[in-house]
Amino acid sequence: MKQIDLDHLVQRVVEELSKKSQEAIPFPEEKELGVKNPHNREVLEQAMRRTPARIGIGRAGTRMKTTSYLQFRIDQAAAHDAVMKQIEPAWLAELGLPELYTRAKDMQEYLMNLDSGRFLSEESVRWLEQNGDKHKDVQIIISDGLSTSACEACIPDLLPSLLQGLALKNVSVAKPLFIHRGRVWVQDHVASIVRCKVVISLIGERPGLATAESLSAYMIYQPNESTVESDRTVISNIHRGGTPPIEAGAYLADLLADILRVQASGVAYAQLRVK
């Protein structure tokens, strides 16, 4: 696993923020205004700059224009590929992470049976019991979830940034794990085996037509059999057009340290923060 020194990390975050800021100001050349003679062109162009949604594309008769239709099909294909394609073995080899599997034997079962992605397979359970780092402050899980594209695009920058941030805060971290076909709740199963204080899942989001590379981070403090969704803290929309991966890694390190400090996550964490 590559390491990023603090100076380099700060420089990359600044560059990402600067690039993001510059891209948000001008009217994107690739988003052409398709409405003829709009009532208020300035307002429409401003709206188009602020969102990747398909607005102002115009129409040809009762249908969308050919260019808009073709772009829609391209984005739809990218979203489909993000869900169905397998993670690249070379990408996993470069990260050097242990690979675990859920009970979902293939994507068909993963998509049709939610519980199959919430628990590790028997073989993976045995491996984690024998080889997992136990009793650490934080256990990091990476999972393809519903977008392998999100993992491949975000994790190479986010993970080193996150590990560097936690190291600077003297937070003990178990060796990160990659879980194939995992859902969010598999983090509870993992935590019950390694008995960490906090577990964070970096998981590919359901792809939309704006981007297929969006990642989410789900964090929970000491999950148990009574855990509910409101016990999880979630940071979403981690991608080039949202929160840049390097910036997200640094922010997640701060957030995890604070969750450890208050010993709570989700709604309980928010309530303690207000107090």
Structural domains of the chain sorted by starting position, each given as residue range(s) with its CATH number in brackets: 89-274 (3.40.50.11240)
Q: Average per-residue pLDDT in the chain?
A: 83
Angle of helix 148-168 versus helix 66-84 axis, rounded to 10: 60
Banded pLDDT at 269 (limits 50, 70, 90): very high
Provide Rg for the chain, Cα atoms: 21
Torsional class of 126: left (φ above 0), alpha (ψ -120 to 50), beta (otherwise):
alpha
Banded pLDDT at 275 (limits 50, 70, 90): low
Q: Is 205 annotated as a binding residue?
A: yes
Distance of CA 268 to the CA centre of its chain: 23
Is the pLDDT assigned to residue 79 strictly greater than 90?
no
Q: Do 136 and 196 meet the contact criterion of CB atoms below 8 Å apart?
A: yes
For residues 59-95, b (16+ Cβ closer than 10 Å) or e, as one string? eeeeebeeebeebeeebeeebeebbeeebeeeebeeb
* Range from 70-84, 174-188, 210-224, 251-265 carrying the lowest mean pLDDT: 70-84
Residue 162 and residue 140: Cα distance in Å, rounded? 10
Is the pLDDT assigned to residue 129 strictly greater than 70?
yes
Banded pLDDT at 256 (limits 50, 70, 90): very high
Work out whether strand 177-180 and strand 198-204 pair parallel, antiparallel, or are unpaired: unpaired
Token match 């995890």: residue? 256
* Range from 110-114, 193-197, 258-262 carrying the lowest mean pLDDT: 110-114
Q: Structure pTM?
A: 0.74
Is the pLDDT assigned to residue 176 strictly greater than 70?
yes
Banded pLDDT at 55 (limits 50, 70, 90): confident
273 versus 176: the higher-pLDDT residue is 176
DSSP state of 140: E
**SS3 assignment, position 96:** coil
Is the pLDDT assigned to residue 22 strictly greater than 60?
no
CB-CB neighbours of 130 under 10 Å: 7
DSSP state of 243: B
Work out whether strand 138-143 and strand 177-180 pair parallel, antiparallel, or are unpaired: parallel
Phi first, then psi: give them for residue 4, nearest 5 degrees: -115, 125
Residue 198 and residue 233: Cα distance in Å, rounded? 11
Residue 24 and residue 206: Cα distance in Å, rounded? 24
Phi first, then psi: give them for residue 258, nearest 5 degrees: -75, -35
* CA neighbor of 265 nearest in space, from 222, 216, 220, 198: 220
Is the pLDDT assigned to residue 204 strictly greater than 90?
no
Instruction: Report residue 197 as tokens.
Output: 């204080």
Q: Is 42 annotated as a binding residue?
A: no
